[in-house]
Structure 1
Amino acid sequence: MTEPLGTVEILDPIGDLDSGDTQTATKNRAKVGSARPSSLLYTYGPGSTMDLPSFTIMPSGLDDWERIWARRGSIPTVHAPRLLDAVKVHLGPQVSELRPFPWAPKPTSHSKEGEDLGVPARVFPQWLRCTNCDMLAPLTRYAYRNTNPFRPDQARFEHEKCPGRTGRISKRPMPAVPARYLLACPDGHLDEFPYSWWVHEGAKCEAADIPSLAMHDRSLGKGASATIECRACGLKRAMNQAQGEAGAAKLPRCRGRHPHLGLFEKSGCPNASKLMLLGASNLWFPASLSIVVMPESTNETHETVATELLKAAGPKRVQKYGDNLEKWREYLDEEESPLAELPAEDLSAAISHLLEPPPSEEELAEQRRAFDPVSLLVPEWNFLQRDPLGKLHKADRESGLVLSPPDGGIHPGLTAKHVTRVMAIDKLRKVNAVLGFTRIDDMERANDIGQRLVHLSRNGRPSWTVATEDRGEGIYIQLDEQAVTAWEAKVEDPDPASLWSAHTAAHKRNFEARFSDTAKDIDHLSRFLPARYWLMHTFAHLLIREMAMYAGYSAASLSERIYAWKGEGERPPAAGLLIVTTASDSDGTLGGLVQLSSRDNLERVISRALQRAHRCSSDPVCAHRTPKDPEDFLHGAACHTCAMASETSCERANRFLDRRFLVDLPGSAGLGFFD
């Protein structure tokens, strides 16, 4: 399944160009490409730049998606109450639902079903360079071509009557490509590079009001190596002067532009701008939340029921009915709403919640500050502690969860390794929701969501957000809590010469060097993970590598979900991991992971994974790697040869890994949990 990408009439593809001529220019409202839901969620979401064969586009904000959904009588939603409650903490209580991407399947290859749906996008950047004559100009100087509706890959901009570098007019149009320089700031603003301002060093051209520009690039795209020329006055200036700290002082201040929303910040932006190259990895970092839907998490909370009541009745009826339970019952019965079946206590509690005054901005900020991502994992952990009701346990229809104990029970060899629980997850449903995005720093490094998170709607308070559903299978493995606690007490040695102290010190250096200025008042230990997380995380990576050899899936298609935290208050301690494979465009997967959960198969996989952990082709360098001042890397005896995984598999970007916590390596005897 792929989501079509296109532009809609509400979007102005010429951005800041306000002249009358440009307003009558041909606009692209055709399908220009497609992308998988996972790509639109993690790589090419609203506000990012997506390279097409001939130009680059930017998916727009959620306000413009409303005009796409308005083409249909009903809007589908994704059922995940627990995730919706977590989204409300970050985006506000006005968020009422999670929606999938606007897409509809086609019954036949020639069907036109779903052609009216797609993710709205705009051309960005909107300055292009002719590949034949080097003309640098906004897209209104070029002709758009996309005559074949079945070949969106042929969409392109062309320079008609191109004079070339010799002045000879070309008989055929010449292709144009995006000018690859942009300006960004830490608050998530993104803007076109001001080429005319740059070449004239902030002044106006003396020879023309609107000078003709050229970009000469002869170095095959190696960094900021192009030269900008004004063909009217002859001035030239190299782009490499904008690089580095010295170059940053020559750039203009940030204008506070959000091109995905089509607006500028009303109050402006105080930040200095930073030169960015189109396609840079730090141009867009998604902020998202995800859960594995468990039956316990699908129970309707009073807040969720209140949201459903508001959607069903509308604000006027809420004011009219107030707390009159009889009128609410009568209305819900007349509408044949499923909410009419709720017990009186639950319905009354939901109505009371609906009538409560909305939280203040201070209360919302405190909720965001106190939000703990572990709270999304605790219900999953609690449910996985239950024994299945029979050989194959179907939890419920809403969650889509099907799990079973391993065939033959747990192998004695695994029991000796302190493995106390194994579950085959025959079917599961994972839901991912988008909160927003950041630029330059990812969310974990920024860590101040309220200030750094770029919103997906123009008012910053969307009534819904985008979510995807992934279905698949997995294996759940749990270690003995007593053994983990005893090992953890031994490993977390406060001695300054210990391995744990070295990792703690490296984390502090990393935190102070990479976190944003507004997050530096946070204690780095509040972000540092306990030793049991290092243990389970490294163990999960080794299992992903080993399982990929037997399960029929690539290692990049397997991902981890780590349940590792110490007991705190009513929250029980946890030491488990879930290895899953999911797909967003199918009803499930092939069953290869479930087959590995059987008694003998799993013992063989775990034993071989631990055996491989003893050696790495980069040893002894890898085995003895310990961060020392001023080093600030967040891993020890782990590298891409032995323990690191692809970014699609790891939830921590290959941080908090060390083989010495799993097995005894030379020079670190006594630290390995399994030895």
Structure 2
Amino acid sequence: MSRPVRKSQAIAPFGPGAMVDFPGPVSLIHAGLDAWPFDENNPDHREFIIDDEKRLARRLGVDFFVQPPDFRRPNRHGGQQRNINLKLPFLRFPLWHVCPRCGRMHLGRYHDKDAPICEGPISTGSDAGKMHPKRKTFQVRFVAACAKGHIQDFPWVEWIFNGNSMDWKPDGIDRWLRMTSSGSASLAGVSVQAEEKDKDGKVQVVRFGANQLAKRSLAGAFVHNDPQAGEEWSKALSEINVSCSGINPVLAVGTDLRPAAGCGHPLHVVLKSATNLYFPSVVSSIYIPDIDDKSLTQEVLDLLDDRDVKNRLRESALDSDNGLVSHRAAVNALAKYYPESIVEPATLAKAANRHLLHGILLDNRTTRAFLDQCIKSASDRQLSLDAVAAAVKSLNWNADPTFILDALRSHFSGNGVEVRAANPDDEEVGYRQQEFSVFSRDLQVGYPKTDLDIRGTDITKYDTFVQSAFSRVALLNKLRETRAFEGFSRIYSTGLTPDEKRALFMAGHKKWLPAIVVRGEGIFVQFSESRLQQWLERHGMELDGRLSLMRKNMDTLAERRHREQRLITPRFVLLHTFAHLLINQLVQDCGYGSASLRERIYSAEGENPMAGILIYTAAGDSEGTMGGLVRMGQPDRLGSVIQRAMEKSRWCSSDPVCIESRGQGSDSCNLAACHSCALLPETSCEEQNRLLDRGVVLGTIENPAIGFFSGFGQW
């Protein structure tokens, strides 16, 4: 069957493992990467590869990423075509279907394009026992999943037989299940019964045990409150000794070809459209070029940053006798990819030998891990010539290690040894430190500008308000964001290791993960660290007291959802809330769709503090890529935009209820923030519209001076 999905949706929210309700209606589950229409050895599939986001690839432990293939129909006029009729793999799930006319249940198969057809017999009324006209069945609404990521059909037979099915199995001919509804809005009105034909061919409900009917309602099958455990989960299946068997339709585990190995964890009964059935893990990265050389022209820099040119030149170095990029290789690369370029081949070859060769070692996971280990074990934490020579030899490469030693040392001194943090939050902070350090300086000279063009403006050209609150404003005329799918979990958003997540949607190890690339523009605003410290010293205790309820609610949420507790600081709440208020104002001033702008928060304390926000357009389409957002960041506009945002947010239309709130929004994790003042579409917010408070930004009625921008009017 053919069902359309946007390329960005194939990463989230409809990534591998997700259940999607399509028109029809039909519910499908996104199959794993083994079934994706991608073959890394097929040269036609190379157009889907993203192999120049090395920073993110090293973080996730892969070699490259693959974009979901766009669907292409055959050209009626003929001609040479590539990658036509490529479709993402989706399977029918759940497999149990029910007839809307008689309630009889039918078992489908994963690869069925059409739902089973039912003809009866009817069980009740004047037509009881008669067959009805053919009717298309529909999938049931209920499934069962465990916290380890497995998912299966609801165990109907075990449920109605109270855990003792006596090997009774429906065959669809003489035995079947039937679902009936009394019309009640509760689950008690939904019943399932086992039926079979007797010797005379009449239909009757199966009896078992002490003459007990094999019929049971769904009352009690779902949520059970356990105050002692401090969580909500269903014990109904555990009480009849039914636990997870390890079935995973994403990888066809639980079929004859791939039997389930068992799991044993408790099963949670949920609706197939429940939000806790699928939590995708998507890691986002802003592309940062790794070339810095002010002696090169912009044309040469952009050529060195081009993926095809870079790979071609590196391959030529691996194949050359001396391990260097030759003049001939540069001529061929220019002729193939940029025949109109005015760059001299000799200049390109020389620049490539200076800036690209060390990447051959860094892009190979084995040699990269070896070099990391050498640095960690060295007493001076420096990369030795012997280590580089060994890495070069392992690739059968003839390069002189002394030629690339300085470049490698410079790389590691700037980026550090790649070590996966035990706490994902710490890893994310360290990852964003690299972006923050780049955004905090100009990349106008010496950097490629194909995918990242940062133009800093002298802060003294802005009005006094901007100068007093911020230390830097940078305009990103171009930026590129890569969003990579890392895995998924069910029931709880955390609790699985990266390896456990990947085992749910790929069999064995793969060198790639799904990802999409989106391009846009943005405004980066860096807060004045000295002003922040003054504000925290003056109102730190008051701010901690105000945010204590938010922290308590977040800790309760983390405990309930099996997450790690996190530190909520006034700095982060200030940056996050300010970003929301600014986005809301930009939407009104520029006419952007509210979901087309996104935030990226840079917040950290300690030795390397961060205090900045990036507002950018990366919606996967053309909106916001024509310079409109960057124009609003110019000195003649940004100050007035921020001032209007602050003035408008000083009083919410829901005040005083909003400003006096002690907890509102999702899980009561906001204070003074509601849909009338500070909330955004959830696709635009990194925190699902949590951790917001206008009081930290503009002050409160009781304490007008507590806000960072409290100079805007009085209560």
1:62 aligns with one of 5, 17, 33: 33
Q: Which moved more, 1:272-281 or 1:590-599?
A: 590-599
- Spell out, residue by residue over 1:56-98, the C-alpha distance to the aligned partner (whole angstroms, 9 max, x if none): 111111111156677764423112111111111xxxxxx2111
Does structure 1 residue 422 correspond to structure 2 residue 473? yes
The one-letter code of the counterpart of 2:440 is Q
Moved more, 274-283 or 423-432: 423-432
Amino acid at match of 1:244: V
Query: Is 1:529 paired with 2:568?
Result: yes
Instruction: Give secondary structure in 1 for the equivalent of 2:4.
Output: strand
Residue 594 of structure 1: how far off its partner (Å): 2.4
Return closer, same or farther for 1:540/1:262 CA change in 2, 3 Å cut-off. Answer: same
Are residue 379 (structure 1) and residue 406 (structure 2) matched?
no
What is the deviation of 1:468? 0.2
Matches within 5 A, 1:468-507: 468-493=516-541, 498-507=545-554
**Which piece of structure 1 moves more, 377-386 or 365-374?**
365-374
Task: Mark the CA change 1:558 to 1:632 in structure 2 (over 3 Å): closer, same or farther.
Answer: closer
Contact 2:170 2:176 in 1 (8 A): no
User: Is 1:396 aligned with 2:367?
Assistant: no
Residue aligning to 1:188 = 149
Partner Cα separation in structure 1 for residue 363 and residue 613 of structure 2? 39
Distance 1:236 1:513 in 2: 34
Cα 1:120/1:397, change in 2 over 3 Å: farther
Partner of 1:87: 60
The residue that corresponds to 2:601 in the other structure is 562
Gaps of 5+ in 1: 1-29, 89-94, 146-155
Residue 159 of structure 1, aligned match among 117, 122, 127: 117
Distance 1:534-1:623 versus aligned 2 partners, 3 A rule:
same
Task: Establish whether residue 119 from structure 1 lines up as the match of residue 166 from structure 2.
Answer: no
Is 1:346 the counterpart of 2:310 in the alignment? no
CA drift at 1:35: 0.8
In the alignment, structure 1 residue 280 sits paired with structure 2 residue 274: yes
| 2:238 equivalent to 1:249 | yes
Asked if residue 237 in structure 1 is aligned to residue 216 in structure 2, the reply is yes
Structural mapping, 1:102-113, within 5 Å: 102-103=69-70
What is the CA distance between 1:366 and its match in structure 2?
7.6
Q: Quote the Cα distance in structure 1 between the aligned partners of 2:653 and 2:628.
A: 29
Note if contact 2:598-2:683 (Cα within 8 Å) is conserved in structure 1: yes
| 2:291/2:448 contact within 8 Å kept | no
Q: Does 1:433 align with 2:484?
A: yes
Structure 1 354/196 Cα, relative in aligned 2: closer, same or farther at 3 Å? closer
Of 456-465 and 351-360, more deviation after overlay is shown by 351-360
Cα distance in 1, alignment partners of residues 598 and 709 from structure 2: 23
The offset of 1:169, in angstroms, is 4.3
Q: Partners in 2 of 1:37 and 1:351 — Cα distance?
A: 27
Residues 117-170 of structure 1 deviation map (CA, whole Å, 9 limit, x = unaligned): 121111111111122221211115x9966xxxxxxxxxx425154555635545
Structure 2 counterpart of 1:511, from 553, 558, 564: 558
Report if the CA contact (8 A) 1:625-1:637 is conserved. yes
Select between 228-237 and 207-216 the one with higher mean Cα deviation: 207-216
- In the alignment, which of 577, 586, 589 is matched to residue 550 of structure 1? 589
Ranges in structure 2 where 5+ consecutive residues have no aligned partner: 197-203, 206-213, 225-234, 294-300, 302-306, 334-347, 378-416, 711-715
Aligned residues: 591
Question: Which residue number corresponds to residue 14 of structure 1?
Answer: none
- Rounded to whole Å, the distance in 2 between the matches of 1:580 and 1:247 is 47
Q: Which of the residues 404, 420, 423 maps onto 1:367?
A: 420
1:125-136 paired onto structure 2 within 5 Å? 125-136=94-105
**Are the equivalent residues in 1 in contact too, given 2:523–2:614 (CA < 8 A)?**
yes
- Within 1, Cα distance between the matches of 2:264 and 2:443? 57
TM-score normalized with structure 1 length: 0.76
Match of residue 262 from structure 1:
252
Give the superposition deviation at 1:197: 1.9
Q: Match for 1:615: what amino acid?
A: W
Equivalent residue for 1:442?
A: 493
What's the CA shift for 1:198? 1.4
* Residue 114 (structure 1) shift: 4.4
Percent identity, please: 27
Partner-residue secondary structure (3-state), 1:373: helix
Query: What is the rounded CA distance, in whole Å, between the counterparts of 2:102 and 2:291 in structure 1?
Result: 60
Change (3 A) 1:218 1:395: farther
Shift of 1:289: 0.9
Partner Cα separation in structure 1 for residue 130 and residue 523 of structure 2: 66
Q: 1:277 to 1:500 in 2, by over 3 A?
A: closer
> Displacement of 1:621 after TM fit?
2.7
1:432-456 Cα distance to aligned partner (Å, 9 max, x none):
111100111113xx4x534763535
Offset from partner CA, 1:92-117 (integer Å, 9 cap, x none): xxx21111112255697988864431
- Counterpart CA distance in 2 for 1:329 and 1:379 is 30
Give the aligned residue type for 1:39. Answer: Q
Residue 584 (1) aligns with residue 635 (2): no
Change (3 A) 1:158 1:507: closer
Counterpart of 1:484 in 2: which secondary structure? helix
Q: Is the 8 A contact 1:552 1:592 kept in 2?
A: no
* Residues 672 and 100 of structure 1: CA distance in aligned 2, closer, same or farther (over 3 Å): same
Distance 2:156 2:686 in 1: 40
CA contact (8 A) 1:106 1:114 kept: no
Name the CA shift for 1:136/1:634 in 2 (closer, same or farther; >3 Å).
Answer: same
Q: Distance in 1 between matches of 2:447 and 2:156?
A: 60
Question: For residues 239 and 298 of structure 1, what CA distance do their matches in structure 2 show?
Answer: 65
Shift of 1:548: 1.1
CA distance in 2, matches of 1:106, 1:564: 46
2:68 alignment partner, one of 101, 122, 127: 101
Specify whether residues 404 and 667 from structure 1 end up closer, same or farther in structure 2 by C-alpha distance, changes over 3 A only: same
Indicate conservation of the 8 Å contact 1:130/1:177, yes or no: yes
Change (3 A) 1:357 1:386: closer
* Kept after mapping to 2: 8 A contact 1:158/1:175: yes
Instruction: Give, as a single letter, the amino acid of the residue that structure 2 aligns with 1:576.
Output: G
| Distance change in 2, residues 1:452/1:347 (3 Å) | closer
Q: What is the CA-CA distance between 1:466 and the residue it aligns to?
A: 0.5
1:374 is aligned with what amino acid? V
CA contact (8 A) 2:443 2:455 kept: yes
Partner secondary structure for residue 652 of structure 2: coil
Q: Is the 8 A contact 1:406 1:597 kept in 2?
A: no
SS across alignment from 1:493: helix
